Amino acid sequence: MKTLKLSLFAVAGALFLSFSANAQQLAPKKDIKPSGTAVTAAPKATTPNPDAKPTGLTFKEDTFSFGDIEKGKPVSHEFTFKNTSKQTILITNVKASCGCTATNYTKTPIKPGESGNVTATYNAANPGSFNKSITVTANDTELNKVLTIKGKVIAPETAPVPATEN
């Protein structure tokens, strides 16, 4: 009986050590400050390759202002570009900064000298100023092109309701 208790105790200890070692491997790395305080290290940010060249797509403009727009009426703008490189370029992704902006873009390969477009449609549902970005990713560079749309959504004026007499 004593041997059985010792064996169970040894197995429990081994499991405890195993779980403890595994938890340490999964814990974030900590730096120790000179004061002896442990600080959780921040994840390393990915920095773009300094040797990366900008995309060969030359946009006519990279910012567009709608000015004042009426609430409830979506607005669109077409950003046009030209392939100024010596290679065929394919836009691989276009992503808006939020769900209130829809995008569409030229999905066919763009040969040197050809043009294409990226269309951004803003859903003017909420009154107030807006400033949204659209990130364009192409196959010719690691750097993304960022386009911007901005403006101010104004609530439509409502006519006063005449008072009714009873």
Across the range 139-151, mean pLDDT stands at 92
4 pLDDT higher than 60: no
Cα–Cα distances in Å, from 12 out to 42, 83, 128, 159? Answer: 35, 67, 62, 77
Stretch 109-123: mean pLDDT: 95
Question: Among 14-18, 21-25, 99-103, which range has the highest average pLDDT?
Answer: 99-103
Report the top-level CATH class of 57-154.
mainly beta
The 10s digit of each residue's pLDDT in 34-78 is 555 454 444 444 445 555 566 789 999 999 999 999 999 999 999
Alpha carbon distance 74, 61 (integer Å): 21
Per-residue pLDDT, 143:
86
Maximal CA-CA distance, the chain: 97
Highest mean pLDDT among 11-15, 43-47, 91-95, 160-164: 91-95
Burial class of 166 by CB neighbour count within 10 A (0 to 12, 13 to 18, 19+): exposed
Average pLDDT over residues 84-112: 94
